[in-house]
Amino acid sequence: MLATHGESAKLLAGGQSLVPMMAMRLVRPGWLVDINEIAVLKFVAVEKDVARTGACTRQCVVERDEALAARVPLLRQALKWVGHIQTRNRGTVGGSLAHADPCAELPLVAQVLGARMLLRSAKGARTLEAEKFFSGPMATSARPDECLEEIHWPAWSWRRTGSAFTEISVRHGDFAMVSAAAQVAIDGDGRCVRAAFGVGGAGGTPLAFPKIAARLVGTRLDDAAVSDAAHAAAAETQPGSDLHASAEYRRHLAGVLAARALREARERARSL
Amino acid sequence: MSETLHAVSVEVNGRPRSARVPARLSLVDWLREDLFLTGTHVGCEHGICGACSVMLDGQPVRACLMYVVQAHGHRVTTVEGLAKPDGSMSVLQDSFCETHGLQCGYCTPGMLIATQALLNSNPDPTEAQIRDAIGGNLCRCTGYQQIVEAVQLAAERMAKEAK
Ligand SMILES: Cc1cc2nc3c(=O)[nH]c(=O)nc-3n(C[C@@H](O)[C@H](O)[C@H](O)COP(=O)(O)OP(=O)(O)OC[C@H]3O[C@@H](n4cnc5c(N)ncnc54)[C@H](O)[C@@H]3O)c2cc1C
Ligand code: FES
Ligand code: FES
């Protein structure tokens, strides 16, 4: 269908973004291809270094999966902020990533963890890193004839790994004004062995800061180091202004929230 | 131009229903306009207000964001399906009346679906859990406090009845 109809055909997953956009006549697809009854697109598989989710797995299923929460805790932490129970009962993981709202929570998790997207079309399959997948506001590098099939979420193996997600929005359940996600691993002495963090809503795509995070390795993640990293990251952001928040305010939030997420992640890691 | 019709069978409030519908027909429009189940309300028609909430296989969802063809082979429960078999009000519905959990009533069917779904999975919810369950349902009248009280009252009564 996608190969035949090209741009005029759209995949329909949970419909929680696409149907509102159709209702507002922002998109008018000629064809909708419903992927909700395709069983192979719905699964959660937790493996040694990676957790795989089918693209059409509902957000509520991912949120409740205990094995997944144990290995990739950021997913459950982020999903608490995604819409409401009713929207998570229909909305899918792949739909959220493909929709690529720069303020959405799951795309930020994908960016911070370096998730990989498995895309398939009639011509074959390919894998894209999150960094290459998100190409701009509401835009991905998936071609119109490609279906996101699976997402591979890296699972860190350090025992003392902690993560956290936080955001500021107008009301709980709304898209974030700015959000932040962090994951850190520490050794027995409390020294950081790996760190990753990023912010959403402060640019055209969710942003991760691997170079700045690398500077945290070897530190004890004390508040000063965390705050330096968060502010260095905020300085790199180029947020836009809108009715809800000015660019300056968003940049300020990016720094504050990134620091908060890093501290919370550190506390979780220390408690293990 | 006549549209292609698709055959669907959906269990609505325990009754099997079959119909031939265009692919573009939303679930909420079908329930209201073809089945005359006008208890389910339509507010925003784009997923924001929650007035159109129904249960799909027991889980609350927005009926304005689904097409009837997608409900084929599934179970749908509307607010009409919450009443007792003899047509009298359920414990939760009675509690809404008593605590003044509604004023104009526009949001009420959605609130009832959301909170009944909560009580089905969690008979003794905390206030925070109740607020979370209705987080996706807008009410312009009550200020939500009486709705929370209605759910608390219903939970108490259901616990007593179960004893
Ligand atoms: C009231 C409300 C509040 C919300 N709040 C939030 C929020 O706080 N944070 C948030 O992140 N989201 C929020 N959302 C949106 C979220 O619920 C959606 O689930 C998500 O954005 C899209 O997922 P979906 O499965 O519904 O996809 P759909 O709406 O079905 O599709 C979205 C887009 O992705 C494409 N697509 C879907 N699946 C695939 C696939 N497998 N391969 C390729 N392309 C695909 C579709 O063609 C379409 O263009 C909210 C929605 C509502 C209605
Ligand atoms: S009418 Fe469906 S959410 Fe408002
Ligand atoms: S009672 Fe009027 S909207 Fe809730």
A89·B59 Cβ contact <8 A: yes
* Predicted pLDDT at A107: 98
d(CA A228, CA B22): 58
A85·B136 Cβ contact <8 A: yes
**Domain endpoint, select from A126, A154, A182:** A154
**Domain endpoint, select from A102, A134, A154:** A154
Compute, in angstroms, the gap from residue B76 CA to the centroid of ligand 3: 23
* Residue among B61, B70, B135 minimizing CB distance to A173: B135
Q: State whether residue A24 sits within 8 Å of chain B by CB.
A: yes
- Domains of chain B with CATH codes: 5-81 (3.10.20.30), 91-162 (1.10.150.120)
Pocket probe mutation, ligand 2, options B29, B38, B48, B56, max atoms within 8 Å of Cβ: B48
B136·A20 Cβ contact <8 A: no
Same domain, residue pair A104 and A178 = no
Decide if A189 is inside a domain.
yes
Task: Encode pLDDT of B83-97 as tens digits.
Answer: 998 989 999 999 999
Decide if A175 is inside a domain.
yes
Decide if A135 is inside a domain.
yes
Q: State whether residue B57 sits within 8 Å of chain A by CB.
A: no
Mean pLDDT by 10 residues, chain A (272 residues): 78 94 88 92 96 98 97 97 96 97 97 98 94 96 95 97 94 87 96 98 95 97 97 94 88 97 97 94
Same domain, residue pair A145 and A88 = yes
Same domain, residue pair A168 and A233 = yes
Name which of A18, A80, A85 to mutate to probe chain B: the one with the most chain B Cβ atoms within 10 A of its Cβ. Answer: A85
Same domain, residue pair A189 and A146 = no
Q: What's A95's domain CATH number? A: 3.30.465.10
Pocket probe mutation, ligand 2, options B27, B38, B64, max atoms within 8 Å of Cβ: B64
Same domain, residue pair A147 and A196 = no
Instruction: Give the ipTM.
Output: 0.90
Same domain, residue pair A264 and A241 = yes
Same domain, residue pair A206 and A123 = no
Same domain, residue pair A100 and A180 = no
Compute, in angstroms, the gap from residue B55 CA to the centroid of ligand 1: 20
Q: State whether residue A89 sits within 8 Å of chain B by CB.
A: yes
**Domain endpoint, select from A102, A121, A154:** A154
Name the residue in chain A with its Cα closest to that of B53. Answer: A86
* Predicted pLDDT at A181: 98
Same domain, residue pair A215 and A249 = yes
Compute, in angstroms, the gap from residue A27 CA to the centroid of ligand 1: 14
Which domain covers residue A138, as residue numbers?
2-19+34-154
Q: What is the pTM of this model?
A: 0.94
- Shortest-distance Cα residue to atom 14 of ligand 1: A83
Same domain, residue pair A111 and A189 = no
Same domain, residue pair A9 and A98 = yes
Domain count, chain A: 2
Decide if A11 is inside a domain.
yes
Please state the three-class secondary structure of chain A as a single string: CHHHHHHHEEEECCCCCHHHHHHCCCCCCCEEEECCCCHHHCCEEECCCEEEEECCCEHHHHHHCHHHHHHCHHHHHHHCCCCCHHHHHHCEHHHHHHHCCCCCHHHHHHHHHCCEEEEEECCEEEEEEHHHHEEECCEECCCCCCEEEEEEEECCCCCCEEEEEEEECCCCCCCCCEEEEEEEEECCCCCEEEEEEEEECCCCCCEECHHHHHCCCCCCCCHHHHHHHHHHHHHHCCCCCCCCCCHHHHHHHHHHHHHHHHHHHHHHHHCC
Beta-carbon contacts of A182 under 8 Å, excluding residues fewer than 6 positions away, are: A112, A163, A164, A195, A196, A197, A198, A258, A261, A262, A264, A265
| Cβ neighbours of B64 in A, within 8 Å | 19, 23
Same domain, residue pair A53 and A135 = yes
The response to whether residue B104 sits with its C-beta less than 6 Å from ligand 3 reads: yes
* Predicted pLDDT at B1: 53
Task: Encode pLDDT of A109-149 as tens digits.
Answer: 999 999 999 999 989 999 999 999 999 999 999 999 999 99
- The gap from C-alpha B89 to its chain's centroid, in whole angstroms, comes to 14
